Amino acid sequence: MTILVTGGAGFIGSNFVLDWLAGCGEAVVNLDKLTYAGNLSNLASLQGDMRHTFVQGDIADTALVAGLLAQHRPRAVLNFAAESHVDRSIASPGAFIQTNVVGTFALLESVRAYWGAHSEADKATFRFLHISTDEVYGSLGTGEAAFSETHRYEPNSPYSASKAASDHLVRAYHHTYGLPVLTTNCSNNYGPFHFPEKLIPLLIVNAQAGKPLPVYGDGQQIRDWLYVKDHCSAIRRVLEVGKVGEVYNVGGWNEKANLEIVHTVCSLLDELKPRADGKLYKDQIAFVTDRPGHDRRYAIDARKLQRELGWAPAETFETGIRKTVKWYLEHPHWVEQVQSGAYREWVAQQYAA
Protein backbone atom coordinates (compact mmCIF):
# COMPACT_ATOMS: atom_id res chain seq x y z
CA MET A 1 0.00 0.00 0.00
CA THR A 2 1.31 3.39 -1.04
CA ILE A 3 0.15 7.01 -1.15
CA LEU A 4 1.45 9.79 -3.41
CA VAL A 5 1.95 13.16 -1.72
CA THR A 6 2.60 16.26 -3.83
CA GLY A 7 4.32 19.24 -2.24
CA GLY A 8 5.66 17.00 0.51
CA ALA A 9 8.81 19.05 1.16
CA GLY A 10 6.88 22.21 2.00
CA PHE A 11 5.64 23.30 5.39
CA ILE A 12 2.34 21.41 5.73
CA GLY A 13 3.31 18.64 3.33
CA SER A 14 6.52 17.70 5.13
CA ASN A 15 4.77 17.72 8.50
CA PHE A 16 2.16 15.39 7.03
CA VAL A 17 4.74 12.99 5.59
CA LEU A 18 6.61 12.84 8.91
CA ASP A 19 3.40 12.25 10.87
CA TRP A 20 2.17 9.66 8.40
CA LEU A 21 5.33 7.57 8.54
CA ALA A 22 5.51 7.91 12.32
CA GLY A 23 1.99 6.55 12.65
CA CYS A 24 1.78 3.76 10.08
CA GLY A 25 3.89 1.54 7.87
CA GLU A 26 2.35 2.61 4.56
CA ALA A 27 4.89 3.92 2.04
CA VAL A 28 4.91 7.49 0.71
CA VAL A 29 6.02 8.68 -2.70
CA ASN A 30 6.83 12.36 -2.22
CA LEU A 31 6.79 14.63 -5.29
CA ASP A 32 7.99 18.20 -4.78
CA LYS A 33 9.30 20.82 -7.19
CA LEU A 34 11.63 22.24 -4.50
CA THR A 35 10.85 25.89 -5.08
CA TYR A 36 12.23 28.34 -2.50
CA ALA A 37 9.77 27.09 0.17
CA GLY A 38 10.40 23.39 -0.44
CA ASN A 39 13.15 22.11 1.80
CA LEU A 40 14.61 18.61 1.87
CA SER A 41 16.09 19.26 5.30
CA ASN A 42 12.51 19.11 6.61
CA LEU A 43 12.69 15.40 5.77
CA ALA A 44 16.22 14.74 7.02
CA SER A 45 14.98 12.33 9.69
CA LEU A 46 13.68 10.03 6.94
CA GLN A 47 17.07 9.51 5.32
CA GLY A 48 17.50 5.79 4.77
CA ASP A 49 13.82 5.04 5.46
CA MET A 50 12.76 2.72 2.62
CA ARG A 51 9.11 3.71 3.11
CA HIS A 52 9.86 7.21 1.79
CA THR A 53 10.63 7.83 -1.88
CA PHE A 54 11.41 11.44 -2.81
CA VAL A 55 11.13 12.65 -6.40
CA GLN A 56 11.93 16.20 -7.46
CA GLY A 57 9.44 17.33 -10.07
CA ASP A 58 6.44 19.42 -11.07
CA ILE A 59 2.81 18.33 -10.78
CA ALA A 60 2.34 19.90 -14.23
CA ASP A 61 4.80 17.37 -15.71
CA THR A 62 2.19 14.86 -16.87
CA ALA A 63 4.74 12.34 -18.15
CA LEU A 64 6.54 12.29 -14.80
CA VAL A 65 3.32 12.01 -12.79
CA ALA A 66 1.93 9.27 -15.06
CA GLY A 67 5.17 7.33 -14.65
CA LEU A 68 5.07 7.60 -10.87
CA LEU A 69 1.44 6.49 -10.76
CA ALA A 70 2.15 3.51 -13.02
CA GLN A 71 5.26 2.49 -11.09
CA HIS A 72 4.05 2.88 -7.50
CA ARG A 73 0.30 2.24 -7.90
CA PRO A 74 -0.81 4.51 -5.02
CA ARG A 75 -4.23 4.00 -3.45
CA ALA A 76 -4.52 7.76 -2.85
CA VAL A 77 -3.06 11.06 -4.05
CA LEU A 78 -2.85 13.98 -1.62
CA ASN A 79 -2.25 17.35 -3.26
CA PHE A 80 -0.39 19.80 -1.00
CA ALA A 81 1.55 21.36 -3.90
CA ALA A 82 0.80 25.09 -4.10
CA GLU A 83 2.24 28.55 -4.14
CA SER A 84 0.81 29.92 -0.91
CA HIS A 85 2.09 33.37 0.12
CA VAL A 86 -0.34 36.22 -0.48
CA ASP A 87 2.35 38.91 -0.64
CA ARG A 88 4.26 37.02 -3.32
CA SER A 89 1.03 36.50 -5.28
CA ILE A 90 0.51 40.26 -5.33
CA ALA A 91 4.04 40.85 -6.61
CA SER A 92 4.21 37.88 -9.02
CA PRO A 93 0.78 36.34 -9.70
CA GLY A 94 1.89 34.30 -12.72
CA ALA A 95 3.60 31.61 -10.65
CA PHE A 96 0.41 31.11 -8.65
CA ILE A 97 -1.71 30.61 -11.76
CA GLN A 98 0.84 28.17 -13.16
CA THR A 99 1.15 25.97 -10.07
CA ASN A 100 -2.24 26.29 -8.41
CA VAL A 101 -4.44 26.30 -11.51
CA VAL A 102 -2.53 24.78 -14.41
CA GLY A 103 -0.63 22.38 -12.14
CA THR A 104 -3.78 21.15 -10.41
CA PHE A 105 -5.47 20.66 -13.78
CA ALA A 106 -2.52 18.64 -15.09
CA LEU A 107 -2.43 16.54 -11.91
CA LEU A 108 -6.15 15.84 -12.14
CA GLU A 109 -5.77 14.73 -15.77
CA SER A 110 -2.93 12.36 -14.85
CA VAL A 111 -4.85 10.94 -11.92
CA ARG A 112 -8.06 10.59 -13.95
CA ALA A 113 -6.26 8.50 -16.56
CA TYR A 114 -4.63 6.34 -13.87
CA TRP A 115 -7.87 5.88 -11.92
CA GLY A 116 -9.85 5.14 -15.09
CA ALA A 117 -7.73 2.09 -15.79
CA HIS A 118 -8.55 0.51 -12.41
CA SER A 119 -11.01 -2.28 -11.79
CA GLU A 120 -14.37 -1.16 -10.45
CA ALA A 121 -13.43 -2.39 -6.97
CA ASP A 122 -10.17 -0.44 -6.95
CA LYS A 123 -11.87 2.65 -8.37
CA ALA A 124 -14.23 2.64 -5.42
CA THR A 125 -11.44 2.69 -2.82
CA PHE A 126 -9.14 5.22 -4.54
CA ARG A 127 -9.09 8.81 -3.24
CA PHE A 128 -7.81 12.19 -4.47
CA LEU A 129 -7.51 14.58 -1.50
CA HIS A 130 -7.02 18.25 -2.32
CA ILE A 131 -5.68 20.51 0.45
CA SER A 132 -6.91 24.09 0.17
CA THR A 133 -7.41 27.25 2.22
CA ASP A 134 -10.09 29.29 3.97
CA GLU A 135 -8.97 32.32 1.97
CA VAL A 136 -11.13 31.19 -0.97
CA TYR A 137 -14.17 32.38 1.03
CA GLY A 138 -13.02 36.00 1.15
CA SER A 139 -13.23 38.27 4.18
CA LEU A 140 -15.62 38.34 7.14
CA GLY A 141 -16.92 41.36 8.99
CA THR A 142 -17.01 41.65 12.77
CA GLY A 143 -19.80 39.48 14.13
CA GLU A 144 -20.37 37.53 10.91
CA ALA A 145 -20.68 33.76 11.19
CA ALA A 146 -17.52 31.74 10.53
CA PHE A 147 -16.93 30.13 7.15
CA SER A 148 -18.93 26.94 6.65
CA GLU A 149 -18.46 24.53 3.76
CA THR A 150 -21.40 26.15 1.93
CA HIS A 151 -20.08 29.72 2.21
CA ARG A 152 -19.89 31.52 -1.14
CA TYR A 153 -16.44 31.77 -2.73
CA GLU A 154 -15.21 35.38 -2.78
CA PRO A 155 -11.40 35.31 -3.18
CA ASN A 156 -9.69 38.69 -2.92
CA SER A 157 -6.02 38.05 -3.77
CA PRO A 158 -4.29 36.34 -6.71
CA TYR A 159 -3.33 33.55 -4.30
CA SER A 160 -6.86 32.90 -3.03
CA ALA A 161 -8.30 33.23 -6.54
CA SER A 162 -5.88 30.60 -7.83
CA LYS A 163 -6.76 28.26 -4.97
CA ALA A 164 -10.47 28.85 -5.58
CA ALA A 165 -9.95 27.87 -9.21
CA SER A 166 -8.19 24.68 -8.16
CA ASP A 167 -11.04 23.83 -5.76
CA HIS A 168 -13.55 24.27 -8.59
CA LEU A 169 -11.53 22.00 -10.87
CA VAL A 170 -11.42 19.28 -8.22
CA ARG A 171 -15.18 19.55 -7.73
CA ALA A 172 -15.77 19.43 -11.50
CA TYR A 173 -13.67 16.30 -11.94
CA HIS A 174 -15.84 14.55 -9.38
CA HIS A 175 -19.17 15.64 -10.82
CA THR A 176 -18.16 15.23 -14.47
CA TYR A 177 -15.90 12.17 -14.42
CA GLY A 178 -16.76 10.53 -11.11
CA LEU A 179 -13.23 10.93 -9.73
CA PRO A 180 -13.47 10.16 -5.99
CA VAL A 181 -12.26 13.45 -4.53
CA LEU A 182 -12.13 15.04 -1.09
CA THR A 183 -11.31 18.68 -0.34
CA THR A 184 -10.17 20.31 2.90
CA ASN A 185 -10.09 24.07 3.47
CA CYS A 186 -7.91 25.00 6.41
CA SER A 187 -7.27 28.12 8.46
CA ASN A 188 -3.82 29.65 9.10
CA ASN A 189 -1.33 26.94 10.03
CA TYR A 190 1.69 27.40 12.30
CA GLY A 191 4.33 25.08 13.69
CA PRO A 192 7.71 23.47 12.84
CA PHE A 193 9.30 23.91 9.38
CA HIS A 194 7.27 27.03 8.57
CA PHE A 195 9.16 29.15 6.04
CA PRO A 196 9.98 32.51 7.68
CA GLU A 197 8.13 34.72 5.24
CA LYS A 198 4.90 33.99 7.17
CA LEU A 199 3.99 35.95 10.29
CA ILE A 200 4.93 33.70 13.23
CA PRO A 201 8.30 32.38 12.01
CA LEU A 202 9.19 35.83 10.67
CA LEU A 203 8.60 37.30 14.11
CA ILE A 204 10.76 34.67 15.83
CA VAL A 205 13.62 35.05 13.33
CA ASN A 206 13.58 38.86 13.27
CA ALA A 207 13.31 39.15 17.04
CA GLN A 208 16.45 37.12 17.62
CA ALA A 209 18.31 39.07 14.95
CA GLY A 210 17.42 42.39 16.55
CA LYS A 211 15.40 43.43 13.50
CA PRO A 212 12.01 45.18 13.40
CA LEU A 213 8.91 43.03 13.85
CA PRO A 214 6.71 44.20 10.96
CA VAL A 215 2.97 44.53 11.55
CA TYR A 216 0.68 45.40 8.65
CA GLY A 217 -1.63 48.40 9.13
CA ASP A 218 -3.17 48.51 12.60
CA GLY A 219 -2.49 44.81 13.27
CA GLN A 220 -6.18 44.06 13.89
CA GLN A 221 -6.58 41.58 11.03
CA ILE A 222 -8.09 38.44 12.55
CA ARG A 223 -7.18 34.88 11.62
CA ASP A 224 -8.10 31.44 12.95
CA TRP A 225 -4.89 29.65 13.93
CA LEU A 226 -4.41 25.90 13.51
CA TYR A 227 -1.38 23.97 14.78
CA VAL A 228 0.05 22.10 11.80
CA LYS A 229 0.06 18.67 13.47
CA ASP A 230 -3.65 19.07 14.22
CA HIS A 231 -4.15 19.83 10.54
CA CYS A 232 -2.27 16.63 9.66
CA SER A 233 -4.49 14.56 11.93
CA ALA A 234 -7.58 16.07 10.28
CA ILE A 235 -6.29 15.19 6.82
CA ARG A 236 -5.62 11.61 7.89
CA ARG A 237 -9.16 11.40 9.25
CA VAL A 238 -10.71 12.81 6.08
CA LEU A 239 -8.70 10.38 3.95
CA GLU A 240 -9.78 7.50 6.15
CA VAL A 241 -13.53 8.06 6.42
CA GLY A 242 -14.45 11.25 4.54
CA LYS A 243 -17.42 11.05 2.19
CA VAL A 244 -16.45 11.21 -1.49
CA GLY A 245 -17.21 14.57 -3.08
CA GLU A 246 -17.45 16.39 0.24
CA VAL A 247 -15.62 19.47 1.52
CA TYR A 248 -14.41 19.66 5.12
CA ASN A 249 -13.28 22.88 6.80
CA VAL A 250 -10.38 22.48 9.24
CA GLY A 251 -9.86 25.12 11.93
CA GLY A 252 -8.31 25.50 15.34
CA TRP A 253 -11.09 27.53 17.02
CA ASN A 254 -8.48 30.22 17.72
CA GLU A 255 -9.48 33.62 16.32
CA LYS A 256 -6.67 36.04 17.09
CA ALA A 257 -5.74 39.51 15.85
CA ASN A 258 -2.29 39.71 14.27
CA LEU A 259 -1.11 42.20 16.90
CA GLU A 260 -2.13 39.77 19.65
CA ILE A 261 -0.05 37.08 17.94
CA VAL A 262 2.93 39.45 17.86
CA HIS A 263 2.65 40.23 21.57
CA THR A 264 2.25 36.54 22.45
CA VAL A 265 5.40 35.58 20.52
CA CYS A 266 7.31 38.48 22.12
CA SER A 267 6.25 37.39 25.61
CA LEU A 268 7.33 33.79 24.98
CA LEU A 269 10.70 34.95 23.67
CA ASP A 270 11.12 37.20 26.72
CA GLU A 271 10.60 34.09 28.83
CA LEU A 272 12.53 31.50 26.81
CA LYS A 273 15.38 33.60 25.36
CA PRO A 274 15.55 37.10 26.89
CA ARG A 275 17.38 39.87 25.07
CA ALA A 276 20.95 40.38 26.24
CA ASP A 277 20.30 44.07 26.89
CA GLY A 278 17.38 43.29 29.19
CA LYS A 279 14.83 45.07 26.99
CA LEU A 280 11.57 43.53 25.81
CA TYR A 281 11.08 42.13 22.32
CA LYS A 282 7.89 44.14 21.89
CA ASP A 283 10.10 47.22 21.62
CA GLN A 284 11.04 45.94 18.14
CA ILE A 285 7.45 46.11 16.83
CA ALA A 286 7.19 48.32 13.73
CA PHE A 287 3.93 49.11 11.95
CA VAL A 288 4.26 49.05 8.15
CA THR A 289 2.00 49.97 5.24
CA ASP A 290 -0.85 47.49 4.92
CA ARG A 291 -0.87 45.05 2.01
CA PRO A 292 -3.24 45.88 -0.89
CA GLY A 293 -6.70 44.37 -0.45
CA HIS A 294 -5.83 42.86 2.93
CA ASP A 295 -8.72 40.66 4.16
CA ARG A 296 -9.87 41.77 7.59
CA ARG A 297 -11.05 38.54 9.16
CA TYR A 298 -11.08 34.78 8.54
CA ALA A 299 -12.81 32.28 10.80
CA ILE A 300 -13.48 28.57 10.24
CA ASP A 301 -16.53 26.66 11.38
CA ALA A 302 -15.12 23.12 11.76
CA ARG A 303 -18.25 21.58 13.26
CA LYS A 304 -18.97 19.39 10.22
CA LEU A 305 -15.58 17.70 10.56
CA GLN A 306 -16.16 17.18 14.27
CA ARG A 307 -19.76 16.05 13.91
CA GLU A 308 -19.36 13.68 10.96
CA LEU A 309 -15.80 12.41 11.33
CA GLY A 310 -15.14 12.85 15.05
CA TRP A 311 -12.12 15.16 14.67
CA ALA A 312 -11.12 17.95 17.03
CA PRO A 313 -7.79 19.78 17.49
CA ALA A 314 -5.53 18.46 20.23
CA GLU A 315 -3.68 21.75 20.80
CA THR A 316 -4.93 25.03 22.18
CA PHE A 317 -3.25 28.11 20.77
CA GLU A 318 -1.36 28.52 24.05
CA THR A 319 0.15 25.03 23.90
CA GLY A 320 0.78 25.12 20.15
CA ILE A 321 2.49 28.50 20.03
CA ARG A 322 4.79 27.56 22.92
CA LYS A 323 5.83 24.38 21.09
CA THR A 324 6.39 26.41 17.93
CA VAL A 325 8.60 29.08 19.52
CA LYS A 326 10.63 26.42 21.33
CA TRP A 327 11.11 24.50 18.07
CA TYR A 328 12.58 27.53 16.30
CA LEU A 329 14.86 28.31 19.23
CA GLU A 330 16.09 24.70 19.22
CA HIS A 331 16.69 24.55 15.46
CA PRO A 332 18.84 27.58 14.56
CA HIS A 333 20.65 25.62 11.84
CA TRP A 334 17.40 25.00 9.96
CA VAL A 335 16.51 28.70 10.19
CA GLU A 336 19.96 29.76 8.97
CA GLN A 337 19.82 27.30 6.08
CA VAL A 338 16.54 28.62 4.67
CA GLN A 339 17.52 32.29 4.90
CA SER A 340 19.20 32.57 1.51
CA GLY A 341 20.22 35.84 -0.11
CA ALA A 342 17.02 35.76 -2.20
CA TYR A 343 14.94 35.41 0.95
CA ARG A 344 16.68 38.34 2.64
CA GLU A 345 16.18 40.51 -0.44
CA TRP A 346 12.47 39.61 -0.47
CA VAL A 347 11.93 40.52 3.17
CA ALA A 348 13.84 43.80 2.77
CA GLN A 349 11.72 44.70 -0.27
CA GLN A 350 8.40 43.66 1.26
CA TYR A 351 8.74 45.45 4.59
CA ALA A 352 10.92 48.40 3.60
CA ALA A 353 8.14 50.88 4.34
**CATH number of the domain residue 122 falls in:** 3.40.50.720
25: confidence class by pLDDT, cuts 50, 70, 90: confident
132: confidence class by pLDDT, cuts 50, 70, 90: very high
38: confidence class by pLDDT, cuts 50, 70, 90: confident
Q: What is the pLDDT of residue 351?
A: 54
Residue 10 lies in a domain: yes
State which amino acid sits at residue 177: Y
Q: What is the chain's mean pLDDT, rounded?
A: 94
- Strand order across the 127-133 sheet: 52-56, 27-32, 2-6, 76-79, 127-133, 181-186, 247-250
Q: What is the pLDDT of residue 202?
A: 95
Q: What is the pLDDT of residue 219?
A: 96
Q: What is the pLDDT of residue 339?
A: 78
Mean pLDDT of 64-93: 94
Look at residues 18, 133, 25, 6 and name the one whose alpha carbon lies nearest to residue 77: 6
The residue from 83, 135, 197, 295 that is catalytic is 135
The number of domains in the chain is: 1
Residue 322 lies in a domain: no
Residue 144 lies in a domain: yes
| Range(s) of the domain holding residue 6 | 2-195+225-255+295-315
pTM score, two decimals? 0.94
Mean pLDDT of 126-140: 98
Q: What is the pLDDT of residue 347?
A: 55
pLDDT, tens only, 140-186? 999 999 999 999 999 999 999 999 999 999 999 999 999 999 999 99
DSSP secondary structure letter of residue 7: S
Q: What is the pLDDT of residue 196?
A: 86
Residue 236 lies in a domain: yes
Residue 13 lies in a domain: yes
Cβ contact 338:196 at 8 Å: yes
Mean pLDDT of 69-84: 97
Q: What is the pLDDT of residue 85?
A: 81
**Is pLDDT at 36 greater than 80 in this prediction?**
no
What is the Cα–Cα distance from 260 to 277, expressed in whole angstroms? 24
Residue 346 lies in a domain: no
pLDDT, tens only, 181-224? 999 999 999 999 998 888 999 999 999 999 999 999 999 999 99
The residue from 32, 83, 137, 159 that is catalytic is 159
* Residue 118 or 344, more confident: 118
Is 134 a residue of the active site? yes
* Lowest-pLDDT choice from 153-162, 269-278, 328-337: 328-337
Residue 271 CA, chain-centre distance (Å), reads 29
Mean pLDDT of 228-249: 98
* Lowest-pLDDT choice from 83-92, 143-152, 302-311: 83-92
342: confidence class by pLDDT, cuts 50, 70, 90: low
Q: What is the pLDDT of residue 352?
A: 59
Q: What is the pLDDT of residue 172?
A: 98
What is the Cα–Cα distance from 234 to 228, expressed in whole angstroms? 10
* Lowest-pLDDT choice from 27-36, 268-277, 278-287: 27-36
The residue from 58, 134, 230, 295 that is catalytic is 134
Q: Residue 100: beta bridge partners?
A: none
Residue 208 lies in a domain: no
Residue 216 lies in a domain: no
Mean pLDDT of 262-277: 98
Across the chain, where does the E strand assignment appear?
A: 2-6, 27-32, 52-56, 76-79, 127-133, 181-186, 188-190, 213-216, 222-227, 247-250, 255-257, 285-288
